[in-house]
């Protein structure tokens, strides 16, 4: 006899994407969702299919991926949290778990997301960093100031279709990037994108274009031209997934404003 699904649970995941074929379920491949579903079925004693806030490609990491699922299990969020972390493989961890209203959807309830991209310039790529950065040899031309200037062009509301190879059915290519923050710490350059939403491969294509600009393969004007002449998939640069992290998903304007220190939806940070 089927038991009613009486409760909705939200959880935040961190994972090393190196050995996953992305976050979404796939028939034959190992994915984040498939591993979580498998562990949850043991914890809850009934089949589960999680919803995911954001699709991440193979090799992309996360520190703040959000999932939700429904259950008839009497287990508390704290018990689910502990049991899941005892069963999940070492490259996935649950960092938060709570009960939510049935109206919550990790993707459609989201107000915005933050992505981080990491670039390392050095003489050699340290073995322990090889899956977590885009490596650029120190001897190669690379102008981080040009990258930062071009990145500012992406801020604001724009049609970003040029920076995605495809649009989902009914998807609006007009997105708002609240802030692009470029920071440098020695050999490491980090680029954070805070936005209302991102299309398929959009962050990787923005980064691919920014790196091409920093290396002198494209003029700084290329970022502006991609926005002013939107043609689906016209930007073909696609940065490695290894340097990309889904850092956080925001569910209120106040969360976003606090994170970026700017006004979002009329709320000041």
Alpha helices (H) in the chain, listed in sequence order:
32-44, 77-87, 144-152, 202-214, 221-228, 253-260
Please check the confidence at residue 88 and state whether its pLDDT lies above 60: yes
Q: Are residues 85 and 169 in the same domain?
A: no
C-alpha span between 255 and 269 (Å, rounded): 8
Domain-embedded: residue 120 = yes
Instruction: Please write the tens of the pLDDT for every residue from 144-181.
Output: 999 999 999 999 999 999 999 998 888 899 999 999 99
State the total domains in the chain.
Answer: 2
Please check the confidence at residue 193 and state whether its pLDDT lies above 60: yes
Q: Are residues 148 and 221 in the same domain?
A: yes
Please check the confidence at residue 113 and state whether its pLDDT lies above 60: yes
The average pLDDT across 12-33 equals: 93
Contact 106, 123 (CB under 8 A): no
CATH for 149:
3.30.70.660
Please check the confidence at residue 4 and state whether its pLDDT lies above 70: no
**Which is higher by pLDDT, 262 or 66?**
66
Domain-embedded: residue 2 = no
Contact 73, 45 (CB under 8 A): yes
Q: Are residues 72 and 169 in the same domain?
A: no
% of the chain at pLDDT higher than 90 = 88
57 is catalytic: yes
Q: Are residues 120 and 167 in the same domain?
A: yes
pLDDT band at 225 (very low <50, low <70, confident <90, very high): very high
- Average pLDDT, rounded, for the chain: 94
Boundaries of domain holding 53: 7-100
The average pLDDT across 7-20 equals: 97
- Residue 210: what pLDDT? 98
Query: CB under 8 Å to 251, separation ≥6 — which residues?
Result: 109, 110, 111
pLDDT band at 5 (very low <50, low <70, confident <90, very high): low
Instruction: Please write the tens of the pLDDT for every residue from 40-68.
Output: 999 999 999 999 999 999 999 999 999 99
Please check the confidence at residue 266 and state whether its pLDDT lies above 80: no
- Residue 263: what pLDDT? 66
Q: Which of 29, 57, 145, 185 is catalytic?
A: 57
pLDDT band at 219 (very low <50, low <70, confident <90, very high): very high
CATH for 79:
3.30.70.580
- Residue 120: what pLDDT? 97
Q: Are residues 140 and 242 in the same domain?
A: yes
- Which among 42, 68, 100 is the end of a domain? 100
% of the chain at pLDDT higher than 70 = 96
> Which single residue is written with the structure tokens 């992290």?
245
- Residue 25: what pLDDT? 85
C-alpha span between 37 and 51 (Å, rounded): 10
């Amino acid at each position: 006899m089927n038991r009613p699904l009486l409760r909705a649970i939200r959880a935040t995941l961190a994972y090393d994407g190196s050995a996953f074929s992305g976050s979404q379920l796939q028939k034959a491949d190992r994915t984040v969702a498939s591993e979580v579903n498998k562990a949850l079925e043991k914890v809850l004693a009934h089949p589960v299919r999680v919803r995911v806030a954001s699709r991440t490609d193979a090799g992309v990491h996360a520190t703040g991926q959000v999932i939700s699922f429904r259950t008839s299990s009497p287990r508390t969020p704290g018990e689910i949290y502990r049991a899941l972390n005892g069963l999940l493989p070492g490259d996935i961890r649950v960092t938060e778990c709570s009960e939510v209203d049935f109206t919550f959807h990790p993707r459609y309830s989201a107000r915005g997301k933050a992505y981080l991209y990491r670039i390392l310039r050095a003489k050699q790529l340290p073995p322990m960093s090889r899956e977590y950065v885009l490596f650029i040899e120190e001897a190669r031309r690379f102008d981080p100031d040009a990258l930062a200037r071009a990145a500012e062009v992406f801020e604001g509301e724009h049609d970003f279709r040029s920076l995605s190879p495809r649009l989902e059915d009914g998807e609006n290519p007009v997105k708002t990037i609240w802030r692009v923050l470029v920071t440098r710490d020695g050999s490491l350059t980090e680029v954070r994108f805070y936005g209302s939403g991102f299309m398929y491969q959009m962050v990787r294509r923005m980064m691919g274009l920014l790196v091409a600009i920093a290396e002198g393969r494209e003029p700084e004007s290329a970022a502006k031209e991609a926005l002013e002449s939107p043609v689906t998939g016209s930007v073909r640069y696609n940065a490695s997934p290894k340097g990309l992290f889904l850092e956080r998903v925001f569910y209120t304007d106040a969360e976003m404003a606090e994170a970026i220190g700017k006004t979002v939806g009329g709320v000041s940070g």
